[in-house]
């Protein structure tokens, strides 16, 4: 790779406490975050994503491994000597300073000339549309405004990497949606690498260039939102992101990047294989509810897709689409999500015996 | 209680019929105590300071401003003329300096102590607070005498230093200003540590992390973030140490050997051997006025900054 990575994490391990109380928050995590990338660390609480962010910021020292920023090892440097800035979950605005003084703080600490500090503060406040509130104290601002001040304060330093620790979690839904779009815009305008921590999968999918899904101190999968959503390689990833149906299957063959599996629920179908999957193995395959469709039971399988058989247990109407909860013939639960097209009647009712059409390519073989 | 039980939350209590009477009734005991132990004694001191001293102590009920004049002037026995005498002012000034030094020393020692306590795990903090209050359990006189035993020429420190061969003759520490300062600091250090701890314990240490993140080193995180946010505790601690230090008479008497009078000793002497109650009362009123003036000056300078918030 010709360009240097913005952030490189090499086998980073972080253990809190000692002896029997020791908690392994991060276990030999390795990651490469590229320049100008909007990179997200996604996982449930306690998965180690915030610990990883704090290692990059310098608030914690790795127990083992190293962190590189722009190719330079920084594992031993205190936070105030690293070219990164953080937007804290709590915003951590200085309550005894005005908005302008908060934004100026980092610049003053780096010894910029007074005129330059003033110009940069003005520029940043304009960027986050807070010019009118420069003289206010943080306590006099709304949550959304405080969020913008925190952003301006961090971005004013023109860091190589901006670290964001669940910055939107305290905002209400509408404001959160607005800030998501604004953050993405800011990242494109400034060209700064963003490392964004969240437990919100939707946020991660809509904002990121790439994301890493974490659990129990491990990075399970790294990829673009499409890769992660369409082709999860781990059961946890498939389960954590979006709704998924899991089916037991046996691999019949793997030929040229395409596997054929026999589903326990009946039918043979093409599936995207994972590395190491071979004929004869029993595996779990995942299929997204919206990739499947209900058919009247009499309709036979078309093409090389499969038709599973089951009966409808529950129907949930969602406006844009309807979700059908089924029990398959072998007793496994299954969810089908279908769009409510114009004029379409809700032809399927609770108790109906139906077929579920699963097209080829919709199945992903998981690593168990 | 009656008004409180029937009051609608958020509604003005004064709007309830009979609320004013109930309120006075409830405030009565507290007001009575304030008058009895606060205002009344001060009133007596004020009145006595304008009376004539009795020969064997006490007062003669005859108005006189002599006590206040005596603070600044000498009255000539022969022609009754007044000449300026700065001796008592000097005592007053020395007391201010001594109390100021003790306060500064308490702050220097107390701040790191309080910071240490505030950064311990929450479960152990109470144990530290408990340890800080332990000296309060013993009489101040006894503790000051112990300081005397430590500081004197044949005391713990000098014996240890001589025994170790570091010095041949003892360092004279007792009966110096140093001994007085040390005694004051020792007596009032908890009054500094506790308010500082209360301030620092509430401090959001994520703000310190934010300062580190914004290129502030440890020193500047301290001076730009921690100290400004701990300001209420610093002010409270300084007042709580400075005011009793200014009027202290035990430490100057025992550790200073009475050689260096402080205002507290001066006042105490008037009620004991000198038997000049009006002069003692006048000196006490002057001390009170000085402290009040200092407080008002402080409020004047501090208030605009706090009011600048909106």
- Domain-by-domain residue ranges, chain B? 97-275
Residue A31's nearest CA partner among A47, A12, A44 is: A12
- For residue B275, pLDDT over 60 is answered with yes
Contact at CB, B216 and A59, closer than 8 angstroms? no
Contact check, Cβ <8 Å, A105/B211: yes
| B217 touching A (Cβ < 8 Å) | yes
Query: Residue B226: its chain A contacts at CB < 8 A?
Result: none
How much is the pLDDT for B310? 38
Residue B83 pLDDT greater than 80, yes or no: yes
Q: Choose between A210 and B305: higher pLDDT.
A: A210
Instruction: Note whether B213 contacts A140, CB cutoff 8 Å.
Output: no
Nearest CB to A79; choose among B212, B220, B228: B212
Residue A1's alpha-carbon distances to A4, A5, A69, in angstroms, are 7, 9, 16
**Phi and psi dihedrals of A210, rounded to 5?**
-140, 160
Of A288, A290, A268, A289, residue with least CA distance to A279? A268
Per-residue pLDDT for B306 more than 60?
no
> Pseudo-torsion of CA A289, A214, A223, A322, nearest 10°?
20
Strand order in the sheet with A353-358: A293-296, A353-358, A306-317, A321-328, A333-339
Residues with Cβ within 8 Å of A334's Cβ and at least 6 positions away in sequence, in order, are: A245, A247, A265, A308, A310, A325, A326, A327, A328, A356
- Asked if A80 reaches chain B (Cβ–Cβ under 8 Å), the answer is yes
Of all residues in chain B, the one with the smallest CA distance to A86 is B213
Work out the minimum CA distance from B101 to partner chain A, whole angstroms: 29
CA A33 – CA A10 distance, rounded (Å): 12
Chain B CB contacts of A58 under 8 Å are 212
The verdict on B215 touching A (C-beta cutoff 8 Å) is yes
pTM of structure: 0.81
Read off the pLDDT of residues A278-301 as tens digits, 9 standing for 90 and up. Answer: 788 888 999 999 999 888 765 555
pLDDT digits (tens, 9 = 90+) for A319-358: 888 899 999 988 889 999 988 876 555 578 888 888 888 8
ipTM of the shown complex: 0.84
Each residue's pLDDT expressed in tens, for chain A with a length of 368 residues = 456 799 999 999 999 988 788 899 999 999 999 999 999 999 999 899 999 999 999 999 999 999 999 999 998 899 999 999 999 999 999 999 999 999 999 999 999 999 999 999 999 999 899 999 999 999 999 999 999 999 999 999 999 999 999 999 888 888 889 889 989 999 998 999 999 999 999 999 999 999 999 999 999 999 999 999 988 989 999 999 988 999 989 998 888 778 888 888 877 888 888 777 778 888 899 999 999 988 876 555 556 677 888 889 999 988 888 899 999 988 889 999 988 876 555 578 888 888 888 887 788 888 76
pLDDT reading at B116 higher than 90: yes
Q: What secondary structure does DSSP assign to A293-337, as a single string?
A: EEEETTPPP-TT-EEEEEEEEEEEE-SSEEEEEEEETTS-EEEEE
**Residue B305 pLDDT > 80:** no
Nearest-Cα distance to chain A for B17, in Å, is 38
Whether domain B97-275 has CATH 1.10.3720.10: yes
């Amino acid at each position: 790779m010709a360009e240097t990575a913005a952030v490189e994490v090499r086998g980073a391990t972080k253990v809190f406490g000692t002896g029997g109380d020791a908690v392994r928050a991060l276990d030999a995590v390795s990651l490469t975050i590229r320049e100008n990338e909007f990179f997200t660390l996604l996982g449930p609480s306690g998965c180690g994503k915030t610990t990883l962010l704090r290692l990059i910021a310098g608030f914690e020292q790795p127990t083992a491994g190293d962190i590189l920023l722009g190719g330079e090892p920084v594992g031993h440097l205190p936070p105030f000597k690293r070219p990164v800035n953080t937007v804290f979950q709590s915003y951590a605005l200085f309550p005894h300073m005005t908005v302008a003084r908060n934004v100026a703080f980092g610049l003053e600490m780096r010894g910029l000339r007074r005129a330059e500090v003033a110009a940069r503060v003005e520029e940043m406040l304009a960027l986050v549309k807070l010019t009118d509130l420069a003289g206010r104290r943080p306590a006099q601002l709304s949550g959304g405004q405080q969020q913008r001040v925190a952003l301006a304060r961090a971005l004013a330093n023109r860091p190589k990497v901006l670290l964001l620790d669940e910055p939107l979690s305290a905002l209400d839904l509408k404001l959160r949606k607005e800030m998501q779009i604004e953050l993405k815009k800011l990242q494109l305008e400034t060209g700064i690498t963003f490392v964004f921590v969240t437990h919100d999968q939707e946020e991660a999918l809509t904002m990121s260039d790439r994301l890493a899904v974490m659990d129990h101190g491990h990075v399970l999968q790294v990829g673009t939102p499409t890769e992660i959503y369409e082709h999860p390689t781990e059961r946890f990833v498939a389960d954590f992101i979006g709704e998924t149906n899991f089916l037991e299957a046996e691999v019949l063959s793997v030929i040229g990047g395409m596997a054929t599996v026999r589903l326990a629920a009946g039918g043979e179908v093409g599936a995207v294989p994972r590395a190491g999957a071979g004929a004869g193995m029993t595996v779990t395959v995942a299929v997204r509810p919206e990739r499947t469709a209900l058919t009247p039971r009499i309709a036979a399988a078309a093409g090389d897709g499969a038709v599973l058989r089951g009966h409808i247990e529950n129907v949930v109407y969602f406006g844009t689409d309807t979700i059908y909860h089924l029990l398959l013939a072998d007793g496994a639960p299954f969810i089908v999500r279908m769009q409510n097209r114009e004029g379409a009647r809700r032809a399927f009712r609770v108790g109906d015996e139906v077929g579920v059409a699963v097209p080829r390519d919709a199945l992903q073989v998981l690593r168990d | 209680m009656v008004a409180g039980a029937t009051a609608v939350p958020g509604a003005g209590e004064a709007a309830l019929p009979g609320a004013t009477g109930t309120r006075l009734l409830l405030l009565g005991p507290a007001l009575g105590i304030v008058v009895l132990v606060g205002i009344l004694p001060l009133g007596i001191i004020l009145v006595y300071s304008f009376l004539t001293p009795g020969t064997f102590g006490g007062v003669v009920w005859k108005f006189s401003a002599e006590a206040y004049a005596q603070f600044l002037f000498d009255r000539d026995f022969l022609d009754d003329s007044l000449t300026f005498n700065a001796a008592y002012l000097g005592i007053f000034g020395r007391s201010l300096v001594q109390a100021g030094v003790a306060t500064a020393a308490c702050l220097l020692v107390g701040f790191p102590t309080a910071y240490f306590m505030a950064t311990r795990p929450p479960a152990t903090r109470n144990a530290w607070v408990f340890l800080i209050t332990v000296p309060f359990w013993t009489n101040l006189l006894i503790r000051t005498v112990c300081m005397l035993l430590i500081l004197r020429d044949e005391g713990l420190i000098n014996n240890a230093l001589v025994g170790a061969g570091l010095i041949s003759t003892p360092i004279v520490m007792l009966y110096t200003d140093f001994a007085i300062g040390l005694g004051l600091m020792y007596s009032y250090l908890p009054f500094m540590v506790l308010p500082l701890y209360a301030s620092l314990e509430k401090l959001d240490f994520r703000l310190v992390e934010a300062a580190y993140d914004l290129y502030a080193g440890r020193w500047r995180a301290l001076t730009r973030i921690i100290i400004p946010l701990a300001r209420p505790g610093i002010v409270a601690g300084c007042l709580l140490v400075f005011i009793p230090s200014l009027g202290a008479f035990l430490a100057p008497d025992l550790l200073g050997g009475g050689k260096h009078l402080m205002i507290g000793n001066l006042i105490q002497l008037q009620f004991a051997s000198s038997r000049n109650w009006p002069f003692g009362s006048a000196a006490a009123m002057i001390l009170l006025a000085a402290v009040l003036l200092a407080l008002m000056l402080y409020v004047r300078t501090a208030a605009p900054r706090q009011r600048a918030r909106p």
